[in-house]
Amino acid sequence: MRDEHANISRRVGVVGFFTFLSRIAGLARDSVMAWAFGATKIADAFYVAFRIPNLLRRFVAEGALTVAFVPVYTAYLKKTRRDALEAASVVFTYLSLFLTLLVAAGIIFAPLIVKLIAYGFASDSQKFEMTVYLTRLMFPYIMLISLVALAMGILNSLKKFAAPAASPIFLNLAIIFGAVILSKLFDFPATGLALGVLIGGVLQLSLQIPSLAKEGMIPRINFNWRHKALKDVLLLMIPSAFGAAVYQINVLVVTLLASFLPEGSVSYLWYADRVSEFPLGIFAISVATAALPTLSDNVAEKDTQSFKETLNFSLRLAFLIAIPAMVGLFLLSGISINVLFQRGEFTAATSAATASALAIFALKIPFVSGVRNLVPGFFALRDAKTPVYVAAVTVVINAVFALMLMGRFLHLGLAAALVISSFFNFVILLYLMRR
């Protein structure tokens, strides 16, 4: 088992390295966008519009598809690679059909979606129309990134982690290109940002193809809807879309409520959340990504003891970094925001409001790290119900505390509600896993 723990650590190193580069590129992206747009009406419109496909990305792609697909695909790999390819092809075919319909619906019903996500924008017709326009423009990104997630599931199951981990770098670079170059080509500058998102999605998907081809695992069209893999993935994916992405649902609630607060509130929370995601992406997600194939192997081999040891090891590894990261980010929140963002349209007042939110968001890092490592464990066990039940409870907790705190503390109250709900999510999942 020590050898496998060493393998997981090496995989964490690979994923962590590329994720670190991606997060650096992401911070550079946010810094460029803060310089160009600050916390203005255009910035609020873009961040809400981008959050919609980003939320669906967590539901359909990273938050659901990968954790549902890897255990099923791993079981077929234990048979033959031909069986595994057939399973992947069936999932690819019907996923593509579903995504085509989803994108079409998103474009058609964009005004309704924006009202649901940011109802407060409806009182400002200009901001509302900008958000609807950007939502329609960026909605196809969900199809691109979901196919990337499927490729990531295939490659991670084959213990190949470099290409999937490196792909977000290209999204961030493409958005920077959109902000610096493309935005100057349009009367409405945010159009360049939205096109940068789409270009980034194409680049992310293109990066996976050589690795899939090398492994002989490029999915084909296969309409065999009776294939058991399709049913197995759906049975895990539908509930996991809610369970694994509970934090994003809570962020959605916060975004909706922030739309009723003074202008800039959505942007304060966006920038603060982006910085707090830096350590989470490098370490928590890296550990969870590296451990999931091994957890799935343990379950496929019916090795309960190894499963427990792997899960405990991944949690210890995640907390080894999460707790110091929480302390450091809390103490350095002001300096971090000043260095990263305070220039151009991003004023000292904007910086102070964002730094306060970041100090609160820092407190959630250990809890979210724990959740992101526990949830894949449940799905490896083919238990999709437990995370769903816990998610439902924590969404209610988040909404209640957000409504209680936002009146007095404005956007800081919303940030605190996210921390509280993350704490309950982790504690309940940990108790149920160890029971």
Query: In the chain, what is the straight-line distance between the N-terminal and C-terminal CA atoms, in Å?
Result: 23
Percentage with pLDDT > 90 across the chain: 31
Instruction: State residue 286's pLDDT score.
Output: 73
pLDDT band at residue 260 under the 50/70/90 scheme: confident
Phi-psi region of 86 (alpha: psi -120 to 50; beta: other; left: phi over 0): alpha
State how many domains the chain has. Answer: 1
- CB proximity list for 123: less than 8 A, separation 6 or greater: none
Instruction: State how far the Cα of 256 lies from the Cα of 83, in Å rounded to an integer.
Output: 45
Give the residue-averaged pLDDT of 269-283: 79
- CB proximity list for 167: less than 8 A, separation 6 or greater: 148, 152, 203, 204, 207, 208
pLDDT in tens, 192-220: 989 999 999 999 999 999 999 999 999 99
Instruction: State how far the Cα of 232 lies from the Cα of 133, in Å rounded to an integer.
Output: 37
| pLDDT > 80? residue 303 | no
- From 422, 257, 261, 274, select the one nearest 354 (Cα to Cα): 274
| pLDDT > 70? residue 241 | no
Higher per-residue confidence, 144 vs 384:
144
Give the residue-averaged pLDDT of 351-362: 91
| pLDDT > 90? residue 54 | no
Q: Tokens for 165?
A: 């981990």
Instruction: State residue 373's pLDDT score.
Output: 81
- From 284, 294, 361, 293, select the one nearest 315 (Cα to Cα): 284
Instruction: State residue 61's pLDDT score.
Output: 55
Say whether pTM exceeds 0.85: no
| 158 three-state secondary structure | coil
pLDDT in tens, 312-322: 887 888 888 88
Q: Is the CB of residue 37 less than 8 Å from the CB of residue 296?
A: no
| pLDDT > 70? residue 247 | no
- CB proximity list for 139: less than 8 A, separation 6 or greater: 52, 53, 103, 106, 107, 110
Average model confidence (pLDDT) across the chain: 84
Give the residue-averaged pLDDT of 120-141: 90
Instruction: State how far the Cα of 253 lies from the Cα of 138, in Å rounded to an integer.
Output: 21
Cβ neighbours around 392 below 10 Å, total: 14
Instruction: State residue 195's pLDDT score.
Output: 95
- CB proximity list for 244: less than 8 A, separation 6 or greater: 58, 63, 64, 67, 375, 376, 379, 387
The range of the structural domain enclosing residue 305 comes to 2-434
For the ranges 69-83, 242-256, 421-435, the lowest mean pLDDT is seen at 242-256
Tell me which range, 21-25, 177-181, 276-280, is most confidently predicted by mean pLDDT.
177-181
State the amino acid at position 78 in one-letter form. Answer: K
- From 135, 46, 53, 67, select the one nearest 99 (Cα to Cα): 53
For the ranges 162-166, 340-344, 357-361, 414-418, the lowest mean pLDDT is seen at 340-344
Higher per-residue confidence, 266 vs 192:
192
pLDDT band at residue 137 under the 50/70/90 scheme: very high
Instruction: State residue 329's pLDDT score.
Output: 87
| Positive or negative: CA dihedral 350, 355, 360, 362 | positive
- From 227, 184, 249, 196, select the one nearest 387 (Cα to Cα): 249
- Please classify residue 3 by burial: count the beta carbons closer than 10 Å to its beta carbon, then call 0-12 exposed, 13-18 middle and 19+ buried: exposed
- From 128, 402, 388, 135, select the one nearest 255 (Cα to Cα): 402
Percentage with pLDDT > 70 across the chain: 93
Instruction: State residue 163's pLDDT score.
Output: 83
pLDDT in tens, 66-75: 777 888 898 8
Give the residue-averaged pLDDT of 11-22: 76
Q: Is the CB of residue 327 less than 8 Å from the CB of residue 16?
A: no
pLDDT band at residue 63 under the 50/70/90 scheme: low
pLDDT band at residue 164 under the 50/70/90 scheme: confident
Higher per-residue confidence, 16 vs 352:
352
Instruction: State residue 378's pLDDT score.
Output: 82
Instruction: State how far the Cα of 46 lies from the Cα of 345, in Å rounded to an integer.
Output: 15
pLDDT in tens, 84-105: 999 999 999 999 999 999 999 9
Q: Tokens for 249?
A: 């649902």
| pLDDT > 80? residue 243 | no
pLDDT in tens, 323-336: 898 998 899 888 88
pLDDT band at residue 376 under the 50/70/90 scheme: confident
Q: Tokens for 98?
A: 């579903």
Instruction: State residue 62's pLDDT score.
Output: 56
